[in-house]
Structure 1
Amino acid sequence: MANFDHAFAIVVGIEAGYVNDPHDPGGETKFGISKRGYPNVDIANLTLNDAQAIYQRDYWNAVQGDALPWPLACYVFDSAVNQGQPTAKLLLQTALGVKADGVIGPVTLAAASRAGAYQNACFMSTRAFEYMKARNFQQYGRGWFNRLFEIAEASNGVG
């Protein structure tokens, strides 16, 4: 739970507060929770506690954050939030060199338990390449790359 709390603080700090950018495909967003992803949530009145519950249920738990070593858990969690949890799972498996089937099972978890600095860097570079495929990379790419550096710096040596 301590890793989730720390990862949440890092990610929500990057996601910030309320935004309604007409160019953002997520639409209205608060604490990184988008109207597109959560059409039945009152985004403007979303509390930080409500956002934390959504993050834990739909992102941290979905990528088995408690079973991943730090800082990889934080990296994968942030990817799930920003790029979608199905993509985060595939990127993790690709970076770890295991079959990329989108299921974080015993093989993926075993490889993750052996992950070190090299695999962590591979995960982040794999994320960068995924960002480059996005149709709106020209508009948001620099910010996404900055996000990678912020996540890496904020999670360094903690956990």
Structure 2
Amino acid sequence: MAKGNFPACLADVLVHEGGYTNNPKDPGNWTGGKVGSGTLKGTKKGIAAASYPALDIKNLSDAKIAELYEANYWRKIRGDDLPSGVDLSTMDYGVNSGPSRSAKELQRVVGVEADGRIGPVTILAVKAADPRVVIKGHCGRRMSFLRGLAIWNTFGRGWSTRVANVEAKALSWVSSKSQLEADAKAARDKAVAQGSGAAVGTGGGIGADQAPDLSWLPVWAIVAVVAAIVVPLVIRTIINAQRAQALASVAKEA
């Protein structure tokens, strides 16, 4: 795609943002940035009360929303200077978790100082790298961050679906059909392997004969050990299944 990708990136971001939401469990919906802090004003198309406490969130116009995105996200990540695809992954992450955090993760992917400010050194490093590698690495680091949040259990499935779709869309701008098909297969194979690992962890399914002998442990300890083994595998299985589906979808359209 040609540069000047702001309209295309914004359109994709807004697909995931949806309309007006006012979930009291989401700290972004509160003007104080914490659940129960300030006033519950909600979020509209990604414009959250926590970031814009003075705005009438519910009644924001589309033109005002686009203006806010360009000024507070696109320009802060130097969107016009980033390669296609990388601009989308960086903007979407910035919308969810802040431009500085997104910039730092991008900088870590390309091996420059992670100061959260995208300048000439970062731009040069990103442009010198394979955009497919940058996009995958950036989205992978984003998922690691999201999984560590206390509200993962409430919002995790939606977040992982979104990241999978953003990664797939970003990759579709810089990849051939065959590359996308290979990406989808790799994600699907990971999901299958991780699903089998989860089955082994519970002592059932494929490879159950290789499950560890935990009979000497008290019941509470067995439950804790199994959960520690199985839950991360189940989460990774779901994440890679979502990635496989999203990548297969964009490959089909390529």
State the TM-score, normalized to the length of structure 1.
0.94
Correspondent of 1:16 among 13, 18, 34: 18
User: Partner residue of 1:92?
Assistant: 106
User: Post-superposition shift, 1:65?
Assistant: 0.6
Equivalent-residue separation in structure 2 for 1:139 and 1:96 (angstroms): 32
User: Post-superposition shift, 1:154?
Assistant: 2.7
User: Partner residue of 2:56?
Assistant: 42
- SS for the counterpart of 1:26 is helix
CA radius of gyration, larger in: 2
The worse-fitting range, judged by mean Cα deviation, of 113-122 and 5-14 is 113-122
The worse-fitting range, judged by mean Cα deviation, of 59-68 and 102-111 is 102-111
Equivalent-residue separation in structure 2 for 1:73 and 1:137 (angstroms): 25
Alignment of 1:8-157 (within 5 A): 8-27=10-29, 28-116=42-130, 117-157=132-172
The worse-fitting range, judged by mean Cα deviation, of 111-120 and 35-44 is 111-120
Equivalent-residue separation in structure 2 for 1:109 and 1:45 (angstroms): 36
User: Post-superposition shift, 1:158?
Assistant: 3.0
Alignment gaps of 5+ in structure 2: 30-41, 175-254
Percent identical? 33
Deviation by residue 1:84-117 (Cα, 9 ceiling, x = unmatched): 1110111110111111111211211011112321
Equivalent-residue separation in structure 1 for 2:80 and 2:26 (angstroms): 31
Equivalent-residue separation in structure 2 for 1:73 and 1:146 (angstroms): 19
Equivalent-residue separation in structure 1 for 2:172 and 2:160 (angstroms): 21
Equivalent-residue separation in structure 1 for 2:117 and 2:98 (angstroms): 14
The worse-fitting range, judged by mean Cα deviation, of 146-155 and 57-66 is 146-155
C-alpha distance 122-83 of structure 1, shift in aligned 2 (>3 A): same
Give the letter aligned to residue 127 of structure 2: S
Q: How many residues align?
A: 159
Deviation by residue 1:48-69 (Cα, 9 ceiling, x = unmatched): 1111100000001001011000
Give the letter aligned to residue 105 of structure 1: G
The worse-fitting range, judged by mean Cα deviation, of 98-107 and 67-76 is 98-107
Are the aligned partners of 1:31 and 1:48 in contact in 2 as well (CA < 8 Å)? no
Alignment gaps of 5+ in structure 1: none
User: Post-superposition shift, 1:38?
Assistant: 0.4
User: Post-superposition shift, 1:155?
Assistant: 3.1
Give the letter aligned to residue 50 of structure 2: R
